[in-house]
Amino acid sequence: MNDTNSAPKFSTLAVHAGAAPDAATGARATPIYQSTSFVFNDADHASALFALEIFGNIYTRLGNPTQAVLESRVAALEGGTAALATASGHAAQLLAFHTLLEPGDEFIAGRQLYGGSVNQFNHAFKKFNWNVVWADSTDPASFERAITPRTRAIFCESIANPGGVVVDLPAIAAIAKKAGIPFIVDNTLATPYLCRPKEHGADIVIHSLTKFMGGHGNSIGGAIVDCGSFDWQGAKIRYKTLVEPNASYNGMRLAETFGDFSFAIACRVMGLRDLGPAISPFNAFMLLTGIETLPLRMRAHCDNALAVATYLEAHPKVAWVNYAGLPSNRYHDVQRRICPAGAGAVFTFGLKGGYEAGIGFVSGLRILSHLANIGDTRSLVIHPASTTHRQLTDEQRKAAGAGPDVVRLSVGIEDKADIIADISQALDQVA
């Protein structure tokens, strides 16, 4: 007999979480509320909204009904207490750190990161006097060694881009908890279908919704998920934005007022309000539509990626393959613990011909698209050393898993035989 009171499963949440038929029209799909602003019921209603006494719609930079459904759905899939949608994954990182850091503060990040994040942390954040200290995501102890009195957070990716390293999240979470600082996990490559970082000790989850969550390469967006697990009021470190009286809200203390979803509120009312990287209603709608098929797509992505990685591992022109789904991979045991449903769709491999061979390979492909994105239904390829990680030094590129011979694949949901055939003919052209 079915338990009708049991919580909805993942695939049901991907379709329904946060949504209901439109009250005004009965529309079953979430409408695109393409409006800058919203009418107040009366003066008291307006006053209560601006004082954070009630929740509702004021201005689309702060929130929008389409955006609200997206936020509820992402929070439900991650098991969080609340979420905030943003204009991009980079915007999500900016708002999260803006909420946590004061000038002169530090945060620790695993160096196995998307090249754009490395650049943002190394350069853009320095303009705020926020300072990154680099650790090694494959060595949890390196995070503990990097902690100083100015450390305010630890950051890593669940599956590192571009290398495909599956990170031992519980080990790093234990270090963050011991130090009394929040643990932030970028879950873009894994998605909550493969990994829910909250279940491994994360306090905050970041997404580029542009990638696998949206899944179709047509919309930019990001998200911050508040896991509701960090005690801001009882923390050893005073996170001013959350615990001190807020002058713009009549002395309200956000952590005291909003409890286990106060971080998401702070990112909205102190970050999104003033810095402004709001997601458009149209992009929120497109991303919502993509998320409905997330579990179906991720199963296909993972099945195809494993088949392609297995083929490449045996190819005479390939020097190495770094895909955690392969039993021979050094991260395979971690992958089975952290991402038991699969190792994702993004991984790297190296060609014996080095830099020139990598460029030749990506130039010879016909089905795979050579572009700077991942997480599309289509199979994508890039040579990071000449593109996404070009701004880094040789040493930084190697540390990030983007050395001169590295090719990154984002394996799509086409027929696996066609993907492999295209890779095969491109490899035939490489000297």
The tens digit of pLDDT for each residue in 63-88 reads 999 999 999 999 999 999 999 999 99
pLDDT digit string (tens) for 17-54? 999 999 999 999 999 999 999 999 999 999 999 999 99
**Which CATH number applies to 10-290?**
3.40.640.10
pLDDT given for residue 400 in this prediction = 67
Q: What is the mean pLDDT of residues 289-302?
A: 98
Residue 343 has pLDDT above 50, yes or no: yes
222-231 per-position pLDDT tens digit: 999 999 999 9
Quick check: 6 pLDDT over 90?
no
Residue 394 or 65, more confident = 65
What is the reported pLDDT for 395?
82
Give me the mean pLDDT over the 141-153 stretch.
98
Rounded (to 5) percent helix, strand, coil in the chain: 40, 15, 45
Pick the closest to residue 406 from 338, 312, 339 (CA basis). 312
Whole-angstrom Cα distance, residue 239 to residue 255? 10
| pLDDT value of position 1 | 37
Are 65 and 57 within 8 A, CB to CB? Answer: yes
The predicted pLDDT at position 300 comes to 98
- Cα separation of 243 and 254, whole Å? 6
Do 82 and 68 form a contact (C-beta atoms < 8 A)?
Answer: no
* Omega prior to 162 cis, within 30 of 0: yes
Identify the CATH class of 294-428. alpha beta
pLDDT per residue as tens digits for the range 89-139 = 999 999 999 999 999 999 999 999 988 899 999 999 999 999 999 999 999
* DSSP state letters, 201-250: T-SEEEEETTTTTT-SS----EEEEE-S---TTT-SS--HHHHS-BGGGT
In the chain, where the domains are located: 10-290, 294-428
Starting at the earlier edge strand, list the strands of the sheet with 380-382: 318-322, 346-351, 406-410, 380-382, 369-370
Q: Which of 164-168, 352-356, 393-397 has the highest mean pLDDT?
A: 164-168
Q: Are 74 and 83 in contact (CB under 8 A)?
A: yes
Residue 161 — very low, low, confident or very high, per pLDDT cuts 50/70/90?
A: confident
